[in-house]
Amino acid sequence: MCTGSLVLAAAGLLSGRPATTHRDHLDRLAGLDPSIDVRRGPRFVDDGPVVTSARVSAGIDMALHLVARYDGPGAAESTRSGIQYEADPGPGPGPGA
């Protein structure tokens, strides 16, 4: 999550993919690989096997999204409730999620 996208980009794992990172590092992400479709609005971007997030709280939203993907919405809600987290209603994963 967060600036982990920079590590993925440096390793070539985001080439040609949509991705996001912490708002302070979006230009750096774009500079690492111009083929990355840098998403500046979503809290997280789900591109199938690669999911990136914008910051720490967005990483929680991303994790709950993955729980829902693999174990269903009920499991994600139970997890959210269990950690007493109120999800941010801001932009989600964006198109293609």
Q: Which residues are catalytic?
A: 2
Instruction: Provide DSSP, 29-63.
Output: HHHH-TTSEE-SS-SEEEETTEEEESSHHHHHHHH
Structure tokens at 32: 């690492």
